[in-house]
Structure 1
Amino acid sequence: MVSLGEFSRVVSSIYAAAITPVHWEVALRDIRRVLGSEQAGLFVDDPSWSVGNSTLPGEAAASYAQYYHRFDHVFAAVEHGLVGDIRTGTELMPLVRRSELHDWLRPLGIDDGLFVRLTDGARPVCLLTGAARGDEAFGTRDRIRLTGELVGHLQQALRAREQLAALADRTGELAAALEVIRHGVGIVAADHLMIDHNSAAERILRREDGLALRSGRITATTAHAEEKLHCALAQALGAGLCAVRRGTTLTCVRPSGRRPYIVHVLPSYRSSGEQPRRPMALVLIVDPEDKPVPPAVLLRKLYGLTRAEAEIAIRVTDGAHLKDISQELSISLPTVRTHLQHAFDKTGTHRQADLVHLLLALSP
């Protein structure tokens, strides 16, 4: 008979595994202990049966995935059963007594046990609690009852793990998307909390030159700019008296004397599973001092520029004079002008200002 304290510890370890998957082995060891089994494991059919997490030795799990899974008529029967239905070794083990799988099971002390399909769908997860054959069948009334009480917690933990994994994927995708933008981008929730931002925004906020992050909130470092930013965020979030959400563009003075940031604050949303969409504000910070230069490879790929033409176009974008380019590249001034004219022709521009405008627009 399992005490309430022991049962509580097992349940706690199951939910700990949902949050931190490396703890599944601990949870399965706890399940094995309270049931008195030799082994415990989660088996996954994706696209053939393999050991997900278990107390099995690593080499045993590998050999099962590589070879012995093809003879596993036990889990084939469990898969075709109902979700949550507890099947006994007395019922199922005869299916594999004379197969090669029995050679894999015997050294592991599995000749009896309890088996449960925990999840539905095309990628089912099943629980194994395996034991050696004894005078009494492993599937006693107490063990079946205890397993039944654990099934609901295991199913909830697996659902939580799946949702957390999906959330991590979405967060990773969002972070990757933000990183391709060269300007500072942040996502702001209620109370001006910055819940996500890219590395460009991180650099800007770390300088505390006009904008900063204080207690997780985006703020301006001057009183006048802070008032404008506060109002813009309220309008984007629909907070206070701002019933209609709308975007705002403002400038933010920098104490360093550099050109002010241009800050676009736009309404946005973030969904969380089945929860209602939450109002968010997308903050785009443009630093006029940042003058990106498109890579030569991009110019050559998009417009067919030669290496020399692309190099000269980039230097012009950076503000270099043609005479200086001639000296730096050790080519004559007429040659520089010829390459530049070819760059004009290939990009459909007619003067240096047009070319600079086009090249600056290439960088996201």
Structure 2
Amino acid sequence: MIDLDGVSAQALSDTIGAIYDCALDPHQWPDTCRKIADLCESTGGGICVHDMRHVQNDQLFVFGYQPEFLEKLGSQYAQSPMAAADIVSDIGHVSALSMDGPELFESRFYREVLKPFGLLDMIWFPALRTGGRMASMHASRRSEKAPHYQQLDISLFKLLSPHVCRALTISDALDIRALRSEMLEKTLDVLIAGVFLTARDGRVVYMNAAAERQIRTGNSIRIVNNRIFPADPAARAALAKAIDEASRDDIEKGAGEHSLAIPGMDGAAGYVATLLPVDRGERRGIVAPFAASVAVFTQDPVQSPLLPGEAFARLYRLTGGELRVLLALAQGLSGKDAADMLGISEPTVRSHLQHIFSKTNTPRQADLLRLLQNSTPPVRGSTADVYQSLEAACR
């Protein structure tokens, strides 16, 4: 079992179990967010969902904040260090505002959003990108005794972030509000994602309609001896090992990554598989009719719409600092105003800008902003919208 100073192994195990309970019952997220925040001595926290298509920022399951702060944060989110960092960060990557050092306390975001409400630091990680939306989990501190997050807190968040990301991915795929056992089979059968429920020994005890369609194609997955049988030998071994780990009683033994690729054969498209233990906690009652131990979700790796600036930053390998400067200038701010907003000096802005010119091979700012505008990716419909339509049709 993993142990951190001041955090018991049992507390970690209970928290990870609570996170997975949220995958099938999102109404449990408020209590789980508090559990996570308590482990790192935070006074506030929750989940933020930023809708890039509708320029909307929603704080879900939050606690410890004044309504005025949440309103201010929503209106200033696009200019926050969190927004730019999330664009260039991988899902699950943990950051803290204090990592920016003195720059944070000179920034407009700190002066206008955090300081008036007594907040001294925030820690967070991007947990989900789908359909033009980004979800992130965060916690915050206002205590003068421990104003900033330390390496212990960052390590704790790094330990928990893969589990939160996996639980949110599953909830988003299912588009669950409150799932009931008697409706489970009907709900699963309208999903685009394939769902396999397996016993502890890997035997398949249930497949939804999408999973049956995936099996019929035979290019990536088959059923052999009543078990999921990927065509790729490496994926076959990895899936068997993941199902075994996910089904163990000791959830810490299954704390590794439970998402894996299942390649197709002969150039055929494959799937991404995500595993969820379902025989413990609240999940046990939901899937009781199937006597299942593990749920395996298999989805086509459809590329989600990129967030504004994300494609550009990844294409030209911009750093977080460079992207923040670029996005500030794209709003029409002058170099001086951008420096004031970000809490850096004008020479630093000019230095970042010169690096961006070099990386993008643009000679001046007007050409750079034109290149950024032309690089904005097309928006595609959200898979969640499809699921909502299917749910409505089945009512």
TM-score, normalised relative to structure 2: 0.40
- Higher-Rg member (1/2): 1
Higher relative contact order (CA 8 A, sep 6+): 2
